[in-house]
């Protein structure tokens, strides 16, 4: 039996405001699954042309799949959001690239013809479930020297990247971090950040009920001089600080994917078109370099080159890993095509949710940039991986 693949489109994406993890964070007393439910409901509200029964799958990622992030959260969140019982769902994990993998997995199903419409996203409540909670690494990893012990500590892997690429100095990392904060602040002031946010009702035993409407992590006014004074917790006299890395955060994301012909049939907007993707493994001790081979793989499979990419949304788990990517591909640290509206150093990185934040921002940037045909979302992944997804702008006006 021969089959033809269908075009897959990103229809819409939303996210909760991102919060700071911990007892003082705005989501300290809010359930993780309720954050996902808000995203699913908002996607359905914003796209009234989509009958709920036409959703064929709900894939939700979480890195720590226990407690309020467990119990096959794709299925349970779909039920809690009020989707029909006929809509199935599942949970997925690829650490930081969980939501990205939820997208590529369901998109592959759409392309193959198994689905017409899917919801994909991710959640991480690092206040309830710190990274690594409940895990039991096999002692063979270290005893048989399969990986170095530093591979299990993400901040240490970033220090290892500084060692491997000594020209990626702390000064460069700090300058990049300041740029991320500044770009986020400018985008917020210009109204670029906000339309994708889903307000979330939050509860505090001390203060009662409130409404989360804005991101909690950004630090406007950050300076290179201020970052230079921060401690380096992963190594004495090291390079990685709380200022040039993403923080510990809570939040959720969700997006709507569809076959292009189905989106047209239902009158749904087409935010961007999937071109291709790639995942790759690297040495776990330097997991931050993962987006380099994953991008190389994605470009090769699509017949594109890095010069074809007009916009980049790169997850800023650590400044050094973004710099390693930029250096490899000959892109300047302050290239305006990269993270136009700031990145995770400013807005936060709730692990498994972040991939869809990148995609949502790229889709909205495409709408403003008909001169750009292709964009790329990429991120490093714990235990030594990288993920890259390449998208096409439906608003592209063609070669001038």
Active site residues: 96, 349, 380
Handedness of CA 362, 318, 153, 28 (dihedral sign): negative
- Sequence-distant (≥ 6) Cβ neighbours of residue 288 within 8 angstroms: 157, 158, 161, 317, 318, 320, 321, 324, 380
Cβ count near 88 (within 10 Å):
15
Beta bridge partners of 92: 61
**What is d(CA 287, CA 384) in angstroms, rounded to the nearest whole number?**
4
Instruction: Name the helix (H) or strand (E) containing 105.
Output: helix 98-112
CA gyration radius, the chain: 20
CB of 10 closer than 8 Å to CB of 54: no
Q: Is 90 helix (H, G, I), strand (E, B) or coil?
A: strand
Q: How far apart are CA 328 and CA 289, in angstroms?
A: 10
């Amino acid at each position: 039996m021969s089959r033809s693949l269908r075009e897959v489109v990103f229809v819409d994406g939303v996210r909760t405001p991102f919060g700071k993890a911990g007892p003082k964070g705005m989501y300290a007393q809010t359930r993780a699954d309720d954050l996902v439910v808000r995203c699913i409901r908002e996607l359905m509200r914003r796209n009234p042309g989509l009958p709920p029964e036409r959703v064929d799958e709900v894939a939700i990622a979480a890195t720590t799949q226990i407690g309020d992030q467990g119990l096959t959260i794709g299925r349970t969140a779909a039920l809690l959001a009020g989707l029909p019982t006929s809509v199935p769902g599942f949970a997925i994990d690829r650490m930081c690239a969980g939501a990205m993998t939820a997208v590529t997995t369901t998109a592959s199903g759409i392309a193959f013809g198994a689905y017409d419409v899917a919801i994909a996203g991710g959640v991480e409540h690092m206040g309830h479930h710190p990274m690594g909670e409940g895990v039991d690494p096999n002692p063979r990893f270290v005893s048989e020297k399969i990986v170095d012990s530093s591979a299990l500590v993400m901040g240490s892997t970033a220090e290892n990247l500084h060692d491997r690429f000594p020209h990626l100095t702390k000064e460069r990392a700090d300058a990049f971090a300041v740029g991320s904060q500044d770009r986020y602040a400018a985008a917020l002031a210009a109204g670029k950040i906000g339309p994708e946010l889903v307000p979330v009702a939050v509860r505090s035993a001390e203060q009662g009920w409130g409404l989360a409407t804005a991101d909690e992590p950004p630090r406007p006014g950050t300076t290179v001089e201020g970052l230079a004074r921060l401690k380096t917790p992963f190594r004495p006299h090291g390079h990685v600080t709380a200022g040039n890395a993403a923080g510990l955060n809570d939040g959720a994301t969700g997006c709507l994917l569809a076959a292009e012909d189905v989106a047209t049939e239902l009158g749904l907007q087409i935010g961007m078109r999937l071109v291709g993707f790639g995942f790759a493994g690297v040495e776990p001790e330097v997991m931050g370099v993962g987006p380099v081979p994953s991008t190389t793989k994605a470009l090769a499979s699509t017949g594109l080159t890095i010069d074809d990419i007009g916009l980049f949304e790169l997850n800023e788990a650590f400044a050094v890993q973004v710099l390693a990517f930029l250096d490899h591909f000959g892109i300047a640290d302050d290239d305006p095509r990269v993270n136009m509206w700031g990145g995770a150093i400013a807005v936060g990185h709730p692990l498994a949710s972040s991939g869809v934040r990148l995609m949502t921002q790229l889709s909205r940037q495409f709408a403003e940039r008909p001169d750009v045909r292709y964009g790329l979302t990429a991120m490093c992944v714990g235990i030594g991986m990288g993920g890259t997804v390449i998208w096409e702008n439906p608003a592209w006006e063609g070669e001038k």
